[in-house]
Amino acid sequence: MTKTSLWRGWAARFALALVALLALGQIAVAQDATPSPDGATAAQMEGDALVRGLDPTAPPDGWTIPGKVGHVTNYLVHEWYQNLTKGEQARADEWGIDFSINDANLDLNKSLAAVDDYLAQNVDVLNFTPVNEEASGPKITEAATTGLPIICESSPTDGCTTLVSIDDYAAGYKVGVWAGDYVNENLDGKAVILDVGLPALSTTVNRSQGFVDGITSVLGENATVAQSVDGNGLKDVAVQVSADALTAHPDVNVIFGINDDSALGGMQSYEAAGLDMENLLVVGFGCEGNACKDALMEGGPYKVSAAMFPEYQGRLLIDAGVAAFNSTELAPHTIAPSTPMTADNLAEYYTKEGDTYTPNFEAIAAISIEGEK
């Protein structure tokens, strides 16, 4: 082989690698795409309003109630999905729907096979939480060609009738503004932030970005991100990476976590490092379980969390499915409410009986989603 042909071979490989990198970049950009309500038609907006006002005891005239609804979840062992499916089950019972769950446990292949299983079982509505939104697109698009209403949860996926989820960026922004005000009043107006994030998911990246933009909108240059670490959304990992980051940045006084475990893990590391808990603000996200709610009520540094109300989202998923089954046109994104939840307003949204927090659906439904997308 001559030198020239060798060079040509390497040049071709380099070009191929470049094309592959550009393609990956496109996928990454596509993953960040969030459905915009701007594209929603008047009929879709009307459908959206109808879904939010549905009452199982008085369905609209002429409606048929779906017999079977199945949900392919991606990680049922997580408390979020347990409470979400609890909400779905309760709402399905109110409608008289046979509801079932098939969990993929973060296995994409299992997730796609579960879709096939539900198609074979002739479910009337499929609820779907993708393990990987890009990779699930072709299967969901194919399933949608049968006319099956597919209600997606959490992340946008091609082929979905609608996506039921919060606006992660807006929720992060709102809680960021709350944190900015708190820092102004209690921490001398200066925030040094540790972001315990999860960069692998577009939704969690949006949460972190929304938070940083929100707190910066209040504090301006007095808000700085000391470090962003990847806690994988798991408490044990969050504790470890936060411990390392806090040794490098002991001046951190605001910890933001993309979920309860990340925020609580960061707080645990802060305490373990012997730093002053009086000068710390912990901001969480989700507040799906008792750990967050108890932490809010304890009066420690965990002051606020962007509440996502999984039980209410479960209701929305079922109601959106019932509406879609009856040919109601739905917006591409059915926005679920979220709000900064604190010790002061927790009782407005949840009633505590013993160790159980029961959601107050009316109060949650009244949370404004104006301007969110």
Partner 1 sequence: MSAEQIASPTQIERPSGSAGSGASIAQRLLASPEGYLFAFIVLVWMFLAAKSTVFLTERNIGVLLSQVALIAVTGFGMTLLLIAREVDLSVGSMQAFVGVVAMQALNEWHYLVVGIVVAILLGVIVGTINAGLTLKLGITSFIVTLAMMQILRGAAYTSTNAAVQNEHKLSSFKRVFNGAAVEDPVRIPWPVVIMAIFFVIFSLVLAKTTFGRSLYALGSNPEAAALSGIHVWRLKTICFVVTSVMAGLSAFMLIARMNSGQNNAGFGFELQVIGAVLLGGASLAGGKGTILGTFLATLLLGSLNNGITLMGYNPNWQWAVTGIIILVAVFLDSIRRRYTQES
Residues that bind partner 1 (CB under 8 A): 77-79, 82, 199-200, 227, 229-230, 234-236, 239-241, 243-245, 247-248, 250, 261, 264-265, 268, 271-273, 289-291, 294
Separation between Cα atoms, residue 367 and residue 337, nearest integer Å: 6
Separation between Cα atoms, residue 184 and residue 313, nearest integer Å: 33
CB of 291 vs partner 1, minimal distance in Å: 5
Comparison of 157 and 209: residue with beta carbon closer to partner 1? 209
User: Which has the closest alpha carbon to 281: 367, 185, 139, 165?
Assistant: 185
Sheet holding 333-335, edge to edge: 98-103, 68-73, 125-128, 150-153, 162-165, 333-335
Sort residue 59 into left (φ over 0), alpha (ψ -120 to 50) or beta: beta
CB of 320 vs partner 1, minimal distance in Å: 25
Comparison of 246 and 324: residue with beta carbon closer to partner 1? 246
CB of 146 vs partner 1, minimal distance in Å: 33
Comparison of 266 and 321: residue with beta carbon closer to partner 1? 266
CB of 241 vs partner 1, minimal distance in Å: 5
Q: How many Cβ atoms sit within 10 Å of the Cβ of residue 245?
A: 22
Separation between Cα atoms, residue 276 and residue 9, nearest integer Å: 60
Separation between Cα atoms, residue 311 and residue 91, nearest integer Å: 9
Is residue 260 a contact partner of residue 285, using CB atoms and an 8 Å limit? yes
Comparison of 47 and 310: residue with beta carbon closer to partner 1? 310
CB of 250 vs partner 1, minimal distance in Å: 8
Number of Cα atoms under 13 Å in the Cβ half of residue 327: 3
Count the helices and strands in the chain (H runs, E runs).
13, 14
Comparison of 124 and 261: residue with beta carbon closer to partner 1? 261
CB of 70 vs partner 1, minimal distance in Å: 21
Separation between Cα atoms, residue 120 and residue 25, nearest integer Å: 36
Cα→Cα distances 319→56, 222, 305, 310, Å: 9, 44, 26, 14
CB of 255 vs partner 1, minimal distance in Å: 15
Comparison of 38 and 355: residue with beta carbon closer to partner 1? 355
At 352, give phi and psi (nearest 5°): -95, 125
Comparison of 355 and 370: residue with beta carbon closer to partner 1? 355
Instruction: Give 257's DSSP letter.
Output: E
CB of 287 vs partner 1, minimal distance in Å: 13
Comparison of 210 and 289: residue with beta carbon closer to partner 1? 289
